[in-house]
Structure 1
């Protein structure tokens, strides 16, 4: 069976990166309360360092994210769940671990002073948002993999 990475890192890679970047920004912007303040502040700080940081991060992390989510993708394609978003939600602990392990590994290699500290400060809040957004993340990935 074709790997998720092969499907996403194909001729549709740029479209997938653009959709992921838009999804990230839109998801952060719709947050409210303390979580919204923290995530919007982190995004603002990151974009002050590099205005294209979301696009660059999406481009860099997409192949690794696809590898990390591939076991769940293979299960889904093997007949588990009616959509990839549903499958991610049904396996939320594994899905979160797969996504956050990629983010954590890459946050540890950030060479921008202060940016790793910002990430560590919002990681817990981001985890909760990611968990809520698993159906939409799955939908975005499935659409891009078609």
Structure 2
């Protein structure tokens, strides 16, 4: 049985998936408005300035676990419907959000006290941010599934 992680994390496309995921993060944060958007944009800029390459490292560490967390949805999709996984993932947004946040919650338990404190302050709004990002994530994953692993250029692709 092929898992979502097998597809997304295949060596031939790993770097492209990472670039697309970073592009998705930057696009999502850049598109947020209001005070929350300003806060997210400032926070991301500060993190990137303090730790260059942090998004690349974080995505490379977390993406395989995120893919494994979403795999039950992928397997259900394959057995139930076939067709468009991006649409299926969006229809099951709540389940996808919970799976992704569970991974983040596990990871933060191993982080520094400073990172844990920052995460604790943001955790309340994290569910809304992840839910808002699911459509973009669904499209990103869908491109790789539709193309058999050779996705067309997407966000962050150069």
TM-score normalized by the length of structure 2: 0.82
Instruction: Decide whether the 8 Å contact of 1:83 with 1:138 is kept in 2.
Output: no
2:131 matches 1:131: yes
Distance 1:130 1:69, change over 3 A: same
Choose 42-51 or 135-144, whichever is displaced more. 42-51
Counterpart residue number, 1:74: 75
Q: Which runs of 5+ in 2 are unaligned?
A: 149-158
Counterpart residue number, 1:107: 108
2:53 matches 1:37: no
Distance 1:46 1:116 in 2: 15
Distance 1:128 1:71 in 2: 22
Aligned-residue offset at 1:139 = 1.3
Distance 1:132 1:82 in 2: 23
Distance 1:139 1:107 in 2: 27
Structure 1 counterpart SS, 2:59? helix
Structure 2 counterpart SS, 1:109? coil
Structure 1 counterpart SS, 2:111? coil
2:121 matches 1:121: yes
Q: Which runs of 5+ in 1 are unaligned?
A: none
Counterpart residue number, 1:19: 20
Distance 1:22 1:37, change over 3 A: same
Distance 2:47 2:121 in 1: 13
Counterpart residue number, 1:143: 143
Aligned-residue offset at 1:109 = 1.7
Aligned-residue offset at 1:105 = 1.3
Counterpart residue number, 1:86: 87
Distance 2:111 2:14 in 1: 23
Counterpart residue number, 2:156: none
